[in-house]
Amino acid sequence: MSQPDLRPGDDTSGPDTGRAERRGAWLAAGGVVVLLVGGYTAAVVAVSDRVPGGTAVADVGIGGLSVAAAEDKLRSQLVPLADRPIEVEVAERTYRLDPADLGLSLDVEATVARAHGGARVDPRVLWDALAGGDDVAPVVDVDQDLVIGAVRDLADETDRAGVEPAVTFSAQGAQPQPPAAGHALDTTGAIITILDSWLVDNGPIVLPTESVRPAVGRKDLAQVVERVAEPAVAAPVALEVGGLSWRLSPQRYAPALRMEVRRGELVLVADQERLAARVPRLIDRAGVSPRNATVRLAGGEPVVVRSRPGVRVTADDLSAGLLRALQHDDRRARLAGVTQPPEVTTQQAREWRIRERISSFTTYYPHEDYRNTNIGRAAELINGTVLAPGETFSLNGTVGERTAANGFTIGYVISDGVFAEDYGGGVSQVATTTFNAAFFAGLEDVEHQPHSFYIDRYPMGREATVAWPTLDLRFRNTTPYGVLVQAWIKPSSPGSTGEMHVVMWSTKYWEIEARASQPYAYTQPSTRVIDDPGCVPTTGYSGFDIDVFRDFYRGDDLVRTETMHTTYTPADTVICR
């Protein structure tokens, strides 16, 4: 086939021509892409080891620095700051915490990596790298246990409980004290705030707190004051004890009252010690003391006197009674008190089996008024003494010091081997009589002291003297029964002798017989000349030794024998100048 002719002006374009044009266009576009890719790659390469310009960590600029240089700069400028105490503010008060105690440390490498941004293939990241960085938060390593423990310790120090309302009382009435809110550290929020703010914020880090409200608010306080507090001191109260009634005015008891929050409510309470101090006579006089059972003579025979429990009003019972009275319309309350059992019960006294005379003894004395007074007073104090099994009698402990206040007068006593004047002269007559009654009752001789020289109205070797407080007469009830001591005198009169009587009542346990040796080892008296206004002239006589034997029988059988040896010194002749 022949080719067509080509003339000027004819359209020579065709399919081949179009494809060529499109190929050229694609080649041009590809060149642009190559150029762009190459430029992007060059940009990535250019910033791959650099921190974006303008980047700062906790005001330390590291923008434009290499990763290594940025790390070095943070180590030199920021790490030292990480060792400084952290100031925190809790409820407007500032505290200082040690980062080490919180378990906080700066991770320099991670912080720079965060600022660097990685490979930056993302165009937006690349743009940030080329256009400039921003402030970057430091990466903080934290020991969870340490930070939790430290913040809890801070909470213990800073937490303030809410102040509950209260009401105090005085003679003028009730005075309310309003409530006040407290605060508690939000420990979780505090940890988050510390981690977010450390090395970033200047000044104290303000930690979050939670309000702690009192259980009783102002409205409830006002209602309680109106309904309870003011009526409590509006009128007197009456407290009844053992048939007696005690009236207390508000001025007396009000200062011992107060109202305080207990289990979420305002309640009225009484200060026990303060109330007792304000009404001491009520405590002292109210109630009844316990009475021990004992044995007394009635109609010449021993009878058991029954015991009785006592009632003691305590400070606790007093305060409880006052609060009960304030709750009653009649403002009265009975105090139950605390029961006090007796030390000796009726049953114990019965078991003593004090039923009969087991011994008696009588001594005689010449007439002197002082003897009637002193012997009679000592007998009065001894009379009615009861010894339980195992108990010890003491004449000094029972009679007490011989003084005018105790009912004694001045009489003659033996002092340093001679007669002298002193209070209680003649009481040795009581000691000797009581000793012999105990001797024949079979009671154990614990302590007795014979006179220094023999006095002929007493049994030889079987007598006793006493002096306050050095010489005492003591004997122990070693029988299984109780012993009642009966003592009295038949006073002397001019021309007649007096009589001192002691009887022991119990159940017979021993039969006692007394024996004595003849006096022996006589010693002669001396003559003494005394220049003293109180001197008493006497005629001397010899001293001697004697032995006394006490035989213990049960029935006809001799169980044992006790021996007492006495040495009497001579009674010197005394010449008074």
Least confident of 193-207, 341-355, 410-424, 542-556: 410-424
303 or 81, higher pLDDT? 303
Give the chain's domains with CATH numbers.
Answer: 56-158 (no CATH), 166-216 (no CATH), 235-347 (3.10.20), 352-576 (no CATH)
Contact 438, 512 (CB under 8 A): no
Contacts of 151 (CB under 8 A, 6+ apart): 102, 185, 187, 190, 191, 194
Considering the chain, what is the average pLDDT of its residues?
Answer: 87
pLDDT at residue 335, rounded to an integer: 86
DSSP state of 254: G
Round to whole Å and give the CA distance between 311 and 288. Answer: 5
**Cα–Cα–Cα angle for 396, 401, 405, rounded to 5 degrees:** 145
pTM for this predicted structure: 0.56
pLDDT at residue 413, rounded to an integer: 64
Mean pLDDT within 324-334: 93
- C-alpha to C-alpha distances, 268 to 168, 254, 265, nearest whole angstrom: 10, 11, 10
For residue 121, pLDDT beyond 70: no
Least confident of 43-57, 124-138, 214-228, 247-261: 124-138
For residue 246, pLDDT beyond 80: yes
* Predicted confidence (pLDDT) per residue in 2-21, tens digit: 333 333 344 444 445 455 45
Mean pLDDT within 408-434: 80
Q: Are strands 205-206 and 86-90 parallel, antiparallel or unpaired?
A: parallel
Mean pLDDT within 358-374: 96
340 or 474, higher pLDDT? 474
pLDDT at residue 194, rounded to an integer: 93
**Cα–Cα–Cα angle for 253, 259, 263, rounded to 5 degrees:** 140
Which candidate, 392, 362, 394, places its Cα nearest to that of 375? Answer: 362
For residue 115, pLDDT beyond 80: yes
For residue 170, pLDDT beyond 70: yes
pLDDT at residue 13, rounded to an integer: 46
Partners of 8 in the β-ladder = none
pLDDT at residue 9, rounded to an integer: 41
Confidence of residue 242 (pLDDT cuts 50, 70, 90): low
For residue 360, pLDDT beyond 70: yes
For residue 125, pLDDT beyond 50: no
Round to whole Å and give the CA distance between 324 and 305. Answer: 37
pLDDT at residue 339, rounded to an integer: 82
458 or 35, higher pLDDT? 458
For residue 132, pLDDT beyond 90: no
* Predicted confidence (pLDDT) per residue in 255-277, tens digit: 999 999 999 899 999 999 999 88
Mean pLDDT within 55-62: 89
